[in-house]
Every structure is written in C-alpha cells, then in structure tokens.
Structure 1
Amino acid sequence: MNLPKRIEIHEEGPREGFQIEKPGFSLQDRASLVEALAATGLAQIQVASFVNPVKVPQMADAAQLFQAIHKRPGVRYTALWLNEKGFRRAASVAEVDLEGVLYFYASDAFCQRNNNSSAQEHARAQAQWVQLYRDFGLTVHKAYLMTAFGCNFEGEISLEQLRKALTDIAALQDETGIALKEVYLADTVGWANPNAIRERVDLTRHIFPQARIGLHLHDTRGIGMANAYAALQEQVDLFDASVAGLGGCPFSGHAHGGAAGNICTEDLVFLCHELGIETGVALDPLIEAARLAERIIGRRLDGKIMHSGSLEKFR
C-alpha cells in the first residue's frame, strides 16, 4: 500500500473538548491534561479559544489556563480565535504560540449562521487577516476550509462547490502574496466518506500542488477512522485529532445535538502504528492521558483503545 512513512497529529482535545462541556472544570485539571498530552510526543496542542466569554463561558479563563501550564520545550501550545478582538486577546498572552491561520467555508448556509455573511464575503475578508497577521510579524501558512464535505443546513457540498471555494482561497493567496504550506479540509459535521476523502484530497492537491493537505475529521456517524484510513492511502500526513474523542460542534444543526468530536487521537496513533506509520507519539502514555481526560470529565468517553488497551503487552 502507498502509505506515508510518518504523519503529524495536532491535538485539539483540550480546546474542542472542554468548550462543549459545562463550565466548572478546574484550571489545575485542564492544565494537567495538557501537560500529560505534551509528554506523549505530540508536537502541537490546541489549548483553548479566545472567544466571547458570554457565549462560551467555558473558555472565559483561557489566558489563565495558558499561564498555568508548565510548558515542555519543542511543543507548540496554540489557540483558536474567531475575530480580531479574540486574536488580540490571544496575542497579549505570552504563553500562546501564535500562528497565521485563515478560515474559509464551502457551505454558504453554515457561514451565514456562524458569521452573518456569505461564504464568498467571508473569503474576501480574509485579506484583512493576512495584513493583521503581518502587523504582528506572523507568516500566514495554513488555511482551513470548513464544511468541505457537507452541511446539515445546506446538504452535500458538490465537487464543483468545493472547487469554487478552493479557487477562492488560491486567488486570495495570489492577491496577497502568501504561500500556503498547509491546506486543511474540515469535515465539520460528519458528512465525509472514504470515497469523498479520496476525490476531494485529489482535487485539493491539484489546486494546491505545493501544500501539504491536512484533514480535520469528525466521527459523527461512526466512520471517522475509516475516513482517516482512506486519507492515509492518499498519502495525507497531517491530521487534527482529539484525545479520547473529546469535543464536537454545538452549532451543527443535528436534530439530536451537535456533531461528535474529532477522530480519537490514541485510536489514530494505534492505527498508524499497526500499519507501520511513525507518529512520534508514545501510545501508552497517550492512553493514560485519555483516561485522565475521562476522569476529569466524569463519564465514559468514546475512545476505543483507552478502554481496551494496546496490543503491546501481547507481543
């Protein structure tokens, strides 16, 4: 099989997981989880988001959380922001590892609900973000295309819709003189399937031949890991994941709640190691971090390997 020799995983559980839970988890517990994840070999951890504390009270203490973490050299501790105010709050916290990231939408309906603008209007506004990042000395190196597979408000995103959204990103890249090194397709609410992964990764590579293609997958309908495997077969080597399967999208339009969390980090690591793909992540300490997350949250979480254990003890 034509699989990558090594992949890179960006951990999103501390931000995506606790953002969807009820407020009240202690800074100490959340910092301990971040520190446990950093000890596994993960190179990047998204710790928190700088968003409206009235709408998302779970993230009201984002600055204090960053300051509570004992940082490990060589690990990037990143944050999410949705507007300039949030970015400037993040930039004021010395412990945040800032990065120049742009966000786009394939679904017009989802963008309207999240941003009160059309997807194309939102895309044009990203030029202002390029300048803002430059003002802070940041290079724009990454772009996310949200709802790249489908949307519960709009339905399936066709290949032509995806091509149009990707072309808009490429046009902005040319207009602003940036060079995107990473382009992520985000299955924000769980519409992807293995065939769609293959055809959409191929289309994205055609439009961005110089960029690494990344995937942000949600396991809403139970085939998140099958989608990851299909991506590995397409030589994708960049994934977002969430320890213990924490998280979800509360604004996804699902009749019975939000989208499930990202694909589970330790399950993805297990899959890769079984296939002979290096991750740079130690699986057993990662399983312990997942179990720590479960103890903090206080209920059984969705990860599989955290409950069954790896196969190492049988070998």
Structure 2
Amino acid sequence: MCADMSDQAPLPASIEMVEVGPRDGLQNEKALVSTADKLSLITKALDAGVRRIEVASFVNPKKVPQMADADDVCAALPHRPDVTYIGLVMNQRGAERALATGRIDQLGAVCVASDRFAMANQGQTSDESVEAAKAIIALARDAGKSGQATIGASFGCPFEGEVSEDRVVAMAAALAEAGPAEIALADTIGVGDPARVTRLVTRVRAAIGPIPLRLHFHNTRGTGLANVWAGVTSGATTIDASLGGLGGCPFAPGAAGNVSTEDVVYMLERAGVRTGLDLDQLISASQWLGTIMQKPLPGMVSRAGTFPKAGESETAKLGA
C-alpha cells in the first residue's frame, strides 16, 4: 500500500548553496592551513559553481588561530562581481575589520539561542547577541553592503540541552525587524531531527515573512542530510555546506563536521532540485582538500563516486 503524498509540499526547482569550508570547515582544525591553500580552496569552490562563500571570520586570532590570516585571505580574493564573499563577525570590531578589507560583500552576524553558549561563543547573553547582530546588519547597510544573521544552537545547546522552539522563533522575529538579507538557523552541534526541522522552519518562515531562510546543519549524529531534505521541503531557500564535510565550532564541545557539499548536491540534484554546482568538480576539490588536511574527510560521495558513472547507458542504469 502506497503512502498518501498528496499533502507533501512540491519540491523547489532550485536551492542556493553557500560554501562554508574556508571558514567553518577549517576553523576548528588544529593543523594550520596556509593562506595559499585557503585561497586554492576558495578558487576550486568557485570553479565548481559556488557563488556565495564564507571566506573567513573576523574574530580574536588567539581564540581561533586558524582565522588569523583573514585580512590576507581577503586581500588576495579573486575579483569576481558574480560572487558574494561573506565574512563572519561577532561584534562591531569584527564587522569594521571585515568592511575595512574592501573585499567582503556581506557581513554574517551570529546570535545564539542559549545564554551559556552565547557567553562561550561571544561573551554575551543570548539577548545581547541578538542586539549585536541587529547592529551589525545596520552597520553593513550603512556601508553599502548587506548583512545577514545566523541563530546558533537553534536545535540544541551543548551546555543547556534542549532549546525552546518558541525562543528561536522569537529571536528570528526580532532579527527580522533589522531587515537582514536573510536569517539562518544553525544546528551547531548536530542534534536536530527532520520533524523538528520541519516544525521550526515552518514557524520561523511565518514569523519573518518574505525574508529568505537559510539552514546550517552539522552531521554530528548522522542526521544532517535528512535535516537538509526536511528544510528544503519546508521552504528554506539556501543551504550551508562544507567541502568534504569538514568543520566544527571551537566553543561547542562535540560539534563535528558540517554536511558535505558534494553529498548535499548529489542528493538534491538526483531529486531534480538544481544547485548550480558541478558535482565532479566538487568531488575533485574535496579529494584535494583531504590531501591538504592529510586525513580522510567525512564526506561520502567523494569516496563512493557519482552515479550513474560517465558513459553508462540508459539500459545499464535500469539494469535491463
């Protein structure tokens, strides 16, 4: 007996992807990656079709040594008018640093849904982090740039445990008052599940009106791709991902890697949802990144390969 799918939302024709590998992918790695290799990673992502990319975070280099060369990375970015370079910032000082590079197109502010993680991540309460994010969005606008905000720990906190959905919805509504380019929900420690994603995406979309909703998932407990699917089918318009599934947060214990860019693209493209990215080039970039990090990366498709293989006939694909 077939399940009744009549009430399922139609799939979107396309989804925007944001590559976060150069920032979130690398920030928790102990082995420092050279500026030249970071720039190669960015170039390879652009060659694969990426048009929005988090290139660095402007934070205290003593706390996040991997991002100490943020200014140098920005100075050498390829000049691409078709690309949006994003700089993650936590406060006004970081925002001013990012804008001073002259290369950051969009400021990415961060607020956190729990007080204890907000204090660990950026030294302020949850409410204070919302106000700081709103100020960063205004600063970006005044500088002729755009600003967006991510709500960290939207699905659970490493210190406080469960996070109220009502709290996240209220934060999104407050951020919407600042007129951001988009609002994102981040599963910082990978505890979300598809049912909760569906509920929260639906509620937040209703609270923020026409403002686009972006999602950021970690695959810590193996639910990352399922959560991406739940978000896409619930109306999110943009998905963060990291080449190879690399990533983690220095201030969130147990925050393992992001969803893998090539895994997300494989899943969506096979389902008929366009991403605008070249899967073969993503796989090649992920394999290259593994050699730079000198370890296997978590992403699955870069190990298994594409399907069907190049040159396979329709008959072979159908097993006839």
Calculate the TM-score normalised by the size of structure 2: 0.88
Which residue matches 1:82?
Answer: 90
Aligned to 2:5: none
Map of 1:307 onto structure 2: 303
**Alignment pair present for 1:103 and 2:99:** no
2:74 corresponds to:
66
- Provide closer, same or farther for how the CA distance between residues 73 and 196 of structure 1 changes in structure 2, counting only shifts above 3 A: same
Deviation at 1:252, TM superposition (A): 1.1
Q: Which amino acid aligns with 1:13?
A: G
In structure 1, the partner of 2:228 is 228
Q: Which residue of 2 aligns with 1:26?
A: 34
- Alpha-carbon distance in structure 1 between the residues aligned to 2:201 and 2:166: 14
Partner Cα separation in structure 2 for residue 71 and residue 31 of structure 1: 12
Match of 1:158 among 158, 164, 168: 164
Q: Deviations over 1:95-118 (max 9, x none)?
A: x22314443222122112223322
Shift of 1:248: 0.6
Report SS of the residue matched to 2:186.
strand
- Which residue of structure 2 aligns with residue 208 of structure 1? 208
Alpha-carbon distance between aligned partners in 1 of 2:33 and 2:180, rounded to the nearest angstrom:
37
Length, aligned pairs only? 303
Instruction: Give CA deviations for 1:41-75 in whole Å, capped at 9, x if unaligned.
Output: 11111112221122222221122223334344512
- The residue type equivalent to 2:269 in the other structure is H
SS of the equivalent of 2:248 reads coil
User: 1:4 aligned to 2:12?
Assistant: yes
SS in 1 for 2:26: helix
- CA separation in 2, counterparts of 1:297 and 1:284? 20
Query: CA 1:161–1:287 in structure 2 vs 1: closer, same or farther (change >3 Å)?
Result: same
User: 3-state DSSP class of the match of 1:20?
Assistant: coil
Q: Secondary structure at the match of 1:214?
A: strand
| Residue 294 (1) aligns with residue 290 (2) | yes
Give the letter aligned to residue 231 of structure 1.
G
TM-score for the superposition, normalised by structure 1: 0.89
2:176 paired with 1:146: no
1:161-240 to structure 2, matched below 5 A, reads 161-170=167-176, 173=177, 178-240=178-240
CA contact (8 A) 1:156 1:191 kept: no
Runs of 4+ residues over 6 Å off in structure 1 = none
Change beyond 3 A, Cα 1:144–1:26: closer
Partner SS for 2:189: coil
Aligned counterparts, 1:126-137, within 5 A: 126-137=133-144
Following TM superposition, by how much is the alpha carbon of 1:154 offset from its aligned partner in structure 2, in angstroms? 0.9
Aligned-partner SS, 2:57:
strand
How many Å separate the matches in 1 of 2:223 and 2:127? 30
CA contact 1:149–1:156 (8 Å) conserved in 2: yes
Q: 1:71 to 1:289 in 2, by over 3 A?
A: farther
Matched, 1:117 2:105: no
CA distance in 2, matches of 1:90, 1:181: 17
Whether contact under 8 Å (1:3, 1:234) holds in the other structure is: no
Distance 1:182 1:69, change over 3 A: closer
SS at match of 1:155: coil
More deviation in 22-31 or 191-200?
Answer: 22-31
User: C-alpha distance in 1, partners of 2:91/2:38?
Assistant: 24
